[in-house]
Structure 1
Amino acid sequence: MKEKILIITGDAGEGYECLYGKHRFEEAGYEAVIAAPSVKRLNLVIHDFEPGWDTYIEKPGYIVEANIAFADVIVEDYIAVLILGGRAPEFLRHNEKVIEIVREFDKTDKFVFSICHGIQILTAAGLVKNKTITCYENVRFEVEACGGNFVGKDEAVRDGKYVSGQTWQSHPDFYRMVFECLNEK
């Protein structure tokens, strides 16, 4: 039986982060399970940077099927969790089941991977205090307000069982660290 990695996202999750992560895990022989508020087709988005804009832009992205609803997730079935960015974390951080899931991954000393705005879920769960973290630069305030140490100069950062990345542009550094972690287990 393949080891499983849980991917947390929802509508408006970052499409490239979702599909790249899913495919990288599957390529390495893991089962990537996409969890969302319900089992349904998710509308992902594309965030990109355009000259002249003060922030990123958003376009409609790919559609992906959620495999499992948050209510049905059993953390002991997974070796790690990946929390994606996009706008999904903005609303998922208010979902008590999501908060419970990520806290259980932490409590059971499993790997917690977060990229871009995914850190918003970890800040809401109270899991960044005293951790060295990176994320999308405009979420820095939330990390620091919750007691985390934001590092903006690195594309990806590891702090124990946590790996965090800034954006989808961080994938090479981020996934290098993610797979170093998975090879340790």
Structure 2
Amino acid sequence: MKGHQDKVLIIVGDATETVDTLYPYIRLQEEGILPVVAGPEKRRYNMVLHEIPEKGWDITREFEGYTIQADIAFKEVRPEEYLGIFFSGGRAPEYIREDPHLIEMTRHFFDNGKPIASVCHGVEIPARADRVRGRRMACVPKCRFDLEVCGGIYSEERHCIDGNLFSGRTWHDHGQYIGPWIAMLNERRIRTAA
């Protein structure tokens, strides 16, 4: 296993969106960074696929996706060992955002200025942790209320970069903010290795 400065957390739960999760998971590996999947328990989680069909539906339709194994449970995470964190979307954030261990680790990343990325419903976790006040974020439009009621600023753009906080509306925006997030992770790797 690589040194602690080379690890990044990916936060998941049941009904985590597949593409939201797998794109950063693979991109981190391409950069030589170890993605560590964290969930409420150390077990396999069911992911889903979300889309809004062109005809017949006004809301998101959900399909079963792949599964993903959590490498570690939230309560076992020592956030100081990780370079950054990624909050995946799907319905999982709604259900896992009350976990006290997840809230504590989320606050660590914000409070220490570490690189943070979030997509879609992922915003519900830092919002619940009271760490979005005055911060600009992109998220799926139906989570705008969650962001704003907790003091965040909704970005009308497809993606948003606010200091160490990188966010997108859906997985369609990954190509716009994941690269800059990884660039900041790499900058931090160099600083911590020196």
TM-score (norm 1): 0.96
Which residue in 2 is equivalent to 1:29? 32
CA distance in 2, matches of 1:88, 1:142: 15
| Corresponding residue of 1:143 | 147
Any idea what SS the aligned residue of 1:33 has? strand
5+ residue gaps, structure 1: none
CA positional deviation for 1:9: 0.7
SS at match of 2:46: strand
**Corresponding residue of 2:53:** 50
1:84 to 78, 85, 88: 88
Q: CA deviation at 1:180?
A: 2.8
Match of 2:73 among 69, 76, 95: 69
Aligned to 1:167: 170
In 2, the alpha carbon distance for the partners of 1:174 and 1:21 equals 10
Displacement of 1:161:
1.0
CA distance in 1 between counterparts of 2:14 and 2:144 reads 23
Secondary structure of the equivalent of 1:128? Answer: coil
Cα deviation digits, residues 32-84 of structure 1 (max 9, x gap): 00000111111000011102311111111001111000010001110000000
1 CA distance for matches of 2:168 and 2:187? 19
> 1:176 maps to which residue?
179
Percent identical across equivalent pairs? 38
Count of matched residue pairs: 184
Aligned to 2:113: 109
Asked if the contact 1:155–1:174 (Cα under 8 Å) also holds between the matched residues in 2, the reply is no
Structure 1 CA distance, aligned partners of 2:153 and 2:127?
12
How far is 1:184 from its partner?
A: 2.7
What secondary structure sits across from 2:125 in the alignment?
helix
User: Equivalent of 2:11, from 4, 8, 12?
Assistant: 8
- Kept after mapping to 2: 8 A contact 1:85/1:115: yes
How much is the aligned-residue C-alpha RMSD, in angstroms? 1.1
Instruction: Point out where structure 2 has 5 or more consecutive residues left out of the alignment.
Output: 189-194
Distance in 1 of aligned mates of 2:39 and 2:78: 14
1:16 partner SS: helix
2-structure distance, mates of 1:180, 1:40? 30
**Partner AA of 1:16 in structure 2:** V
Cα distance in structure 1, aligned partners of 2:171 and 2:38: 19
Counterpart of 1:97 in structure 2 is 101
Q: Partner of 1:172: helix, strand, or coil?
A: helix
Aligned to 2:192: none
Shift of 1:174: 1.8
**For 1:119-176, what per-residue CA distance to the aligned partner results, in whole angstroms no more than 9, with x for missing partners?**
0001101111101111001100111111111012x22111111111110011100212
The offset of 1:88, in angstroms, is: 0.3
The AA in structure 1 aligned to 2:133 is K
More divergent stretch after superposition (171-180 vs 30-39): 171-180
Shift >6 Å, 4+ stretches: none
